[in-house]
Structure 1
Amino acid sequence: MNIKSLLLGSAAALATVSGAHAADAIVAAEPEPLEYVRICDAYGKGYFYIPGSETCLKIGGKVRTEGEWYDAYNPNNVRGTLWHTRAELQLQTATDTEYGALKTNTEIRWDWQEGGSTGTNFLHGSISLGGFTVGKEDSEFNVFTGYAGDVINDDVVYDGPYELNQLTYNYDAGNGFTAVISLEDTNSGKGATGSNGENSSDHYAPDVVAGLGFKSGAWGFKVVGGYDSIVEEGAIKARVDADFGGFSAFLMGGWNTDSDKLNKYAGANGAGDAANIGWGEWAVWGGLSVPINEKWKASGQVAYTDSKIFAATANVQFHPVKDLLIEPEVSYTNWDSINEDQWAGILRFQRSF
């Protein structure tokens, strides 16, 4: 056999072997195109597009730990200290549609207090589109006017219910005029079983909240009313806000349609001997905030009721770095009708993201 014949035979053998194993060859898949996270600034700071979709997502929350001394809501609480830690996770989505932005809001809270297990609360969960919101949020009796002052113990004098299911329509004319109408679940939220022991079984009529507001320049005014369909009474709140440049201030007043009864919108926030002391016929709140510099701010609030509850709170907010808060606060409450009072304090550390 000459060299030429040997080479031809070897080539034929290699071709035969290669053909026999062609079906078993490993073929690398084409790499998927890499999609970087895109910023979505149409709905505010912090949103980004979920890869592969046109839905924008925002992830946020906070971790908080604080020491509490006594209790501004309870004259019978003589416990010297209580340490409380909380974590919250919030997910918000937004997608553009022909009817406006389709949004969702989800918020979950975990709480731990010394000597107790972790408590979980599905705080908020709602869908909104074209001015309509449906799901679990705080009552529009609070949200529309704005909560009370920029202090931790802002609702020692009750200012309205918080978490409850609702169907709400918010209107914004774009010229400073706003309005709201909300059907709120009778059987959820504080006062759901009747603030005075009323029987709410088989009760399906919703509570109703409605409000109007106007803002021009540094001044804003809002009024809101809530009707408790179990108690068949309600309350009205009116609020004025002003920004004077060097400080901001608010004044809010509330009227109870029946001073002898509590209802979901004019209820009681006390505990112990003060558990059932509500507004009486009326309540007032006032407060101010003074920015000292970019790291420091001081805030205070006072409130008083027809039932002779007096509550005062003051704090200092310190931001040593962005998104980190250190906040000492002191409160004093006096329940004149039961001849009781209480001093309380909080030292809070909070990291928001």
Structure 2
Amino acid sequence: RICDVYGTGFFYIPGTETCMHIGGYYRFETRFGSTGAAYASNMNWFSRFQLSVDVRNETEWGTLRGYAEGHFDYGWINAGANLGLGINAVAGGYFGRAYLNQGYIEVIGASGTLRMGLTDTAYSRFLGYGSGNVFGGTYNVSTRNEISYTFSGSNGFSAILALVQDADQDFVPDIEGGVNFAQGWGSIGVIAGYDESAGTWGAKGVLRFNAPNGSFSGGLHVMYSSGGGSYGVTSAANVLAPWSVLAHVKGQFTAKVAGTLSAQWFSGNGAFTLSGGLDIRPVDGLRIRPEVAYATDTNLWNAVVRFDREIP
């Protein structure tokens, strides 16, 4: 039976009132760049199958949700290269891995959501993920165990407070909290986090804008870090930057083709990382993204062509 309570793609598990959605994507990409670049030495090949399972039912406390997301990766990486995916090859060659990328329980009430489990941290996700491109900027993406509560108001206001598993695996968690205000024109918000082990903290403010006709969107991210640790931001040359600013724009040329530009500045050495590309959706379910990025402090460029086939 089709379950239309939670959106498209859900169905009732036979014999129950619990709804399930199975989704994910297939991905293939190739990366290349100038000698010494993170994705350099001719080409690196990468494939992924992401499988997600979303299970929900109604209870006295609200909607009870369980969500899991598995990654199955395979590819070729050259010696010393780094795909930016947690894979850093020493000798180079073929690699394969399977792991749980997300796995959490949520209780979704009328005014907010309690989340417990493995997830992109609140500092990563609450205000959105950078520019949304393949080369989306440096903005502290991290996936850890978390207990968080998100308050959702009726007027577009939301707030979050999270206890996050410490990167050094000790018993005292990191703390993250933020607020956001979203309307049809876009959103504006701030979030801060404290790294208990490193004794450092970070904060960022994010402004996003959407044109009424959907032809243009953009964002501005201003980030500060008191030092290294979980909230430190570094340039392409791995120089720590107390301040960093990321700006990005996306223009919809046609119904199937969009163009993207982004620039990020790092105060540590005054460097910039610049990127541009296309977002092409030629047929339903297929997304193609060719992009190029250049870093001024390393004088190196990287390029990628990524193909995604989405599971609705």
User: Considering the TM-score relative to the shorter chain, is it more than 0.5?
Assistant: yes
2:160–2:178 Cα contact (<8 Å) kept = yes
Contact 1:75 1:341 in 2 (8 A): no
Aligned to 2:210: 243
The one of 178, 189, 197 equivalent to 2:158 is 178
Q: Secondary structure at the match of 1:169?
A: strand
Q: Tell me how large the CA RMSD over aligned residues is.
A: 1.8
Say which of 157, 160, 177 aligns to 2:140.
Answer: 160
Contact 2:31 2:39 in 1 (8 A): no
Letter in 2 for 1:70: G
C-alpha separation in 1, matches of 2:27 and 2:178: 33
Of residues 83, 88, 92, the one that matches 2:50 is 88
Following superposition, the deviation at residue 150 of structure 1 comes to 2.5
Which residue in 2 is equivalent to 1:348? 306
Distance 1:331 1:49 in 2: 45
Q: Map of 1:1-353 to 2, 5 A cutoff?
A: 38-70=1-33, 75=37, 78-114=40-76, 115-130=93-108, 131-155=113-137, 158-186=138-166, 192-193=167-168, 203-244=170-211, 245=213, 246-257=215-226, 261-268=227-234, 270=236, 274=237, 276-279=238-241, 281-307=242-268, 308-335=270-297, 340-353=298-311
Structure 1 runs (4+) deviating above 4 angstroms are none
CA distance in 2, matches of 1:240, 1:262: 25
> TM-score of the superposition, structure 1-length normalised?
0.78
| Structure 2: gaps spanning 5 or more residues | 77-92
Counting matched residue pairs gives 288
Once the two structures are superposed, residues 140-196 of structure 1 have per-residue CA deviations (whole angstroms, 9 ceiling, x without a partner) of 0011010100210113xx31132100001001011111000000000xxxxx24xxx
User: SS of the counterpart of 1:117?
Assistant: strand
Query: Secondary structure of 1:264's match?
Result: helix
Counterpart contact for 1:150–1:299, Cα < 8 Å? no
Post-superposition shift, 1:305? 1.0
Q: Give the helix-richer structure, 1 or 2.
A: 1
Specify the structure having the higher radius of gyration (Cα): 1
- Percent of aligned pairs with the same amino acid: 27
How far apart are residue 216 of structure 1 and its match?
A: 3.0
Distance 1:172 1:96 in 2: 19
Does the Cα contact within 8 Å between 2:225 and 2:233 map onto a contact in 1? Answer: no
Unaligned ranges ≥5, structure 1: 1-37, 187-191, 194-199
| TM-score with structure 2 setting the length | 0.88
For the residue of structure 1 that corresponds to 2:231, the secondary structure is coil
Counterpart-to-counterpart distance in 2, 1:120 and 1:70: 27
